[in-house]
Amino acid sequence: MAGATQGPRWFAYARCMVDAGVLGARIASSAVAPLVKKLFVKDQPGAGLVSSPVRISALVSFGREKRSVTPKDVEKVAAELVRRALKTAGPGEQPVTAEEATAVTHALGHSLASLGTLTIEDYEAVGLGPEEFARTLRSHAAVISYGLSGDGELFYEQLLHTAALHILNFFTQRSTYIARQQTAQSRQLARLVRAVDVLLGRLPSQSAEDAGFEARYAEHINGRYGTLTIYGLDTGTSEWSLDTAYLSLEATRERDGQDGGLQIPAEQVLAQHDQVLLRGVAGSGKTTLVQWLAVTTASRTYDHGLTHLIGRVPFVLPMRRIVRPGTEFPIPGDLLKAVGCPVAGEQPAGWAERVLRAGRGVLLVDGIDEIAGDRRDAARRWLRELTRTFPGNLWLVTSRPSAVPERWLEAAAFHELTLSPMARDDVATFVRRWHRAARADEAEGMSLLQAVRTTSELNRLATNPLMCGMLCALHRDRRGFLPQDRKSLYEAALTMLLERRDRERELDHPDGLRIPYATQVQLLQKLAWWLIRNSRAEMDRSDALHIIGQAVPAVNLDGTAEDVYRSLLLRSGLLREPAEGRVDFLHRTFQDYLGSRLAVQELDFDLLVNHSRYDDWDDVILLAIAHARPKEAEQMLRRLVGQDSSRGKLLAAAGLRYVAEVEPSVRELVEEGVGSLIPPRSITEAEELGRAGGDLLLALLPGPENVDDRTAHHVVQAASHLGNEAALHFLTRFRKHPSQEVQTTLAACWPRFDRALYARDILAHLPQQRRVTVRGAADLRTLRALGGWEDIRVLGPYRVEELTELIVQERLVRLFLEAPHPVDGLAWLAVFPRLERVRVATEVSTYVAQQVPLRIELITPRSSPS
């Protein structure tokens, strides 16, 4: 029955069951199954058909509902899995070292502990299949395999996959599973029937000629758009599978009359609206999304969940190919011919019109910005006429943000959305996929990812697929090392954005104005330096036109200031118009780079040094030192180190890395200056340094290897005040430090950082005896995902129900409650079996200590420790 109804999914599941035996972790099923059973309660008789879903978290033996084992037992299960896997390997085939095996055990234990947080039912888990279920366990755990070597991560993933395989098999063998699974199969069958109904309703009675052509056309779409080409990289153009390259990004739909917007997966935009204008900056993934939608539509599969694409026909319409000088916009019958489709000559007469008349078309109009401005009104009329003549089709039109005004297609009932920048996890996924597709060493990808997360300038650059691809290519081309100087890094990025990308895409300049690379740089740096000098994040469009207009006669361009401005706005990828009549730089880092170039050309060194006390001038000053001639750079360093403030000395020390040539006396002067600040000699100095140093500080602070315990404590204090991701990764170097003061400080710094990241990278590696402060339910959930914590301080108002539900009860040993108002009674504390000590700080001490046989201290906020 299962095989008949689920078909390929169950075949894939069976295949995975076979493939498990050839994993690196070759553990016999008879050895794994008993370990897996320990994670769950014993089966109970009965069909298990209930009116409300049964969550997996209700089945685990260490969860809130059932406690036959403790979270420590989960760790023992993970340790036993690792031990048996290592034992089965041959003497010369150990997948990891003994030290890394401990880290793998830790990561696997936290992944298995996340079973207690899953809200899906067991039959839903089986429906995911072992690979997807393993990914679910990994994503629900606050601690993942970050920091493991390539072999370590592979070993961890193999063990997690093996465990997932047997967990799902365990679910299928429970007596309560069968009846419920039959119900699930009925629902799945109903969904399949609905999909077929959609398909039958969408497909008209076709002639054999039409059906045969559509099949051949679908093969062409899959072959033509099933790979992604990356342009403008030093390693040359390269193609990789779209399945590997595609990354699901978010699209933002502005709320009417409200700040902010609603985010939806970009591939779902046509599920929300039939007609969408999607804006995105250069390299944000617009064309990749178009290709993915085309291939998904043409694939003729029905398991992608996008029912709005079932039975439809994609038309990929790059505007730069459709709109040629002196040509008219094509009618439906000429769409394939206009884009150079090789099967266009086989198209049956009237086929395209029949498809559109039936509402089966998915028309993907890519790159409105890539046609001349005087043709865009004609393009709008063309789109409006087609949508009115052939209603019911899906339309996606893409453009760079400033190419067309807001509500440009509103009269044609198009909804506007904007592609969002890549999130942190998106960057990590992209880097891993890029290196896998390029057949590069996995360790190179991890090295780059570490650099992106710890280096502020790289972090600011990695915001879209184009820039991430550039960083990957530069990193690999230089054998695992990005340019050591930021000047070279930005120069490579500018060359790609301003010159190579359009040339390699064979894109004619739509407005007929070709601006040489050097001229583009010269004009852009004038705009950048104006913004920096005036402490502005954006400028009026009229100011930009004025600056460009003054420069045009000197750069020998044929065109007005308006022509030049429009070309820079649309083709450079560096400028944008965030609002009507306003212009700014897409990346602040490029603004600083370009502005610093002009500052050096104009000899504005006094202006630079006089602004050294401002954080937002740090990058401008450092890059100016990089652009300056040796004597100019030395003079800047002397003036910076001679300032009374610590910032000047830190800037000078950071600037040494940017100077190609410097007199030994100047170097000695700078080193003496920073030596008076680093390492900090007291907690007070550490706090002052942390507040003043900014991103400059991390590159100057020593690591844990060559400092004593007291200095390590001060270094951690200083770095923790930054509170950003680069500081977090710096602090990971101290998480195994033996000093109790260091460990206590690391535990106390949690509130300054992103809670989930800090929990994963720092807290999970600290002794449980260190006190951690929580400020709400979200923090408690994060600690629960770690498997619980022994010493917790609850700061601020709380609800007893949240404490008893979200704190892992078997782990808690010490509890400190600090709230403005007390909660009557302490009887609820009895649910924590290991609790030894409670401290309570309130405005009015009214607790009844006798209710619980514990050591309880009632204190006031004035006497409570910080």
In this model, does residue 316 exceed pLDDT 90?
yes
In this model, does residue 71 exceed pLDDT 80?
no
In this model, does residue 723 exceed pLDDT 50?
yes
The amino acid present at 485, given as its one-letter code, is: D
Give me the mean pLDDT over the 525-550 stretch.
Answer: 89
Nearest to 571 by CA among 801, 326, 400, 790: 400
Q: Specify the range with the lowest mean pLDDT, choosing from 21-35, 679-693, 762-776.
A: 21-35
Report pLDDT for 600.
93
Q: Give the confidence band of 20 by pLDDT, cuts at 50, 70, 90.
A: very low
Q: Give the confidence band of 2 by pLDDT, cuts at 50, 70, 90.
A: very low
Three-state DSSP class for 361? strand
- Please list the helix, strand and coil fractions of the chain in percent, rounded to the nearest 5, in that order: 55, 10, 35
What does the block give as tokens for 624? 């100016």
Return the DSSP state at 496: I
CB atoms within 10 A of CB 750: 22
Give me the mean pLDDT over the 370-384 stretch.
Answer: 85
Q: Specify the range with the lowest mean pLDDT, choosing from 437-451, 662-676, 740-754.
A: 437-451
Q: Give the confidence band of 606 by pLDDT, cuts at 50, 70, 90.
A: very high
Question: Can you tell me the distance from the alpha carbon of 223 to that of 220, in angstroms, rounded to the nearest whole number?
Answer: 5
Starting at the edge strand found earlier in the chain, the sheet holding 261-265 runs: 261-265, 250-254, 415-419, 275-279, 394-399, 361-366, 313-318
Give me the mean pLDDT over the 67-75 stretch.
Answer: 61
User: How do beta strands 582-585 and 772-774 pair?
Assistant: unpaired
In this model, does residue 748 exceed pLDDT 60?
yes
Write the CB contacts of 644 (distance below 8 Å, at least 6 apart in sequence). Answer: none
Classify each residue of 227-254 as buried b or exposed e, where b means 16 or more C-beta atoms within 10 Å of its C-beta. Answer: bbebbbbeeeebebebeebbbebbbbbe
Report pLDDT for 567.
83
Report pLDDT for 778.
83
Give the angle subtended at the CA of 371 by the CAs of 369 and 373, to the nearest 5°.
Answer: 80
Residue with more model confidence, 821 or 446? 446
In this model, does residue 653 exceed pLDDT 70?
yes
> How many Å is the Cα radius of gyration of the chain?
31
In this model, does residue 45 exceed pLDDT 50?
no
Is 138 within 8 Å of 156 (Cβ atoms)? no
Distances (CA, A) of 590 to 501, 586, 623: 17, 8, 11
Report pLDDT for 774.
87
User: The pTM is what?
Assistant: 0.51
Report pLDDT for 347.
93
In this model, does residue 120 exceed pLDDT 80?
no
Mean pLDDT over each residue of the chain, to the nearest integer: 76
The amino acid present at 642, given as its one-letter code, is: G
Q: Give the confidence band of 450 by pLDDT, cuts at 50, 70, 90.
A: confident
Question: Can you tell me the distance from the alpha carbon of 648 to that of 660, in angstroms, rounded to the nearest whole number?
Answer: 20
In this model, does residue 861 exceed pLDDT 60?
no
Greatest mean pLDDT range, 87-101, 123-137, 268-282, 462-476: 268-282
Question: Can you tell me the distance from the alpha carbon of 703 to that of 686, in angstroms, rounded to the nearest whole number?
Answer: 15
Give me the mean pLDDT over the 241-247 stretch.
Answer: 71
Q: What is the pLDDT of residues 334-366, one digit of tens each?
A: 999 988 898 999 999 999 999 999 899 999 999
Q: Give the confidence band of 763 by pLDDT, cuts at 50, 70, 90.
A: confident
Three-state DSSP class for 23? coil
Q: Give the confidence band of 180 by pLDDT, cuts at 50, 70, 90.
A: low
Report pLDDT for 384.
94
CB atoms within 10 A of CB 443: 13
Distances (CA, A) of 355 to 329, 511, 614: 19, 34, 61
Starting at the edge strand found earlier in the chain, the sheet holding 575-576 runs: 539-540, 582-585, 575-576
Report pLDDT for 443.
79
Question: Can you tell me the distance from the alpha carbon of 443 to that of 608, in angstroms, rounded to the nearest whole number?
Answer: 40
Report pLDDT for 507.
52
Question: Can you tell me the distance from the alpha carbon of 697 to that of 758, in angstroms, rounded to the nearest whole number?
Answer: 20
Q: Give the confidence band of 398 by pLDDT, cuts at 50, 70, 90.
A: very high
Q: Specify the range with the lowest mean pLDDT, choosing from 212-221, 316-325, 448-457, 799-808.
A: 448-457
Question: Can you tell me the distance from the alpha carbon of 153 to that of 837, in angstroms, rounded to the nearest whole number?
Answer: 39
Query: What is the percentage of the chain residues whose pLDDT exceeds 70?
Result: 73
The full length of the chain comes to: 866
Q: What is the maximum alpha-carbon separation in the chain?
A: 92
In this model, does residue 795 exceed pLDDT 80?
yes
Give me the mean pLDDT over the 437-442 stretch.
Answer: 74
Report pLDDT for 485.
61
Report pLDDT for 23.
36
Report pLDDT for 92.
59
Report pLDDT for 127.
72
Report pLDDT for 10.
32
Q: Give the confidence band of 769 by pLDDT, cuts at 50, 70, 90.
A: confident
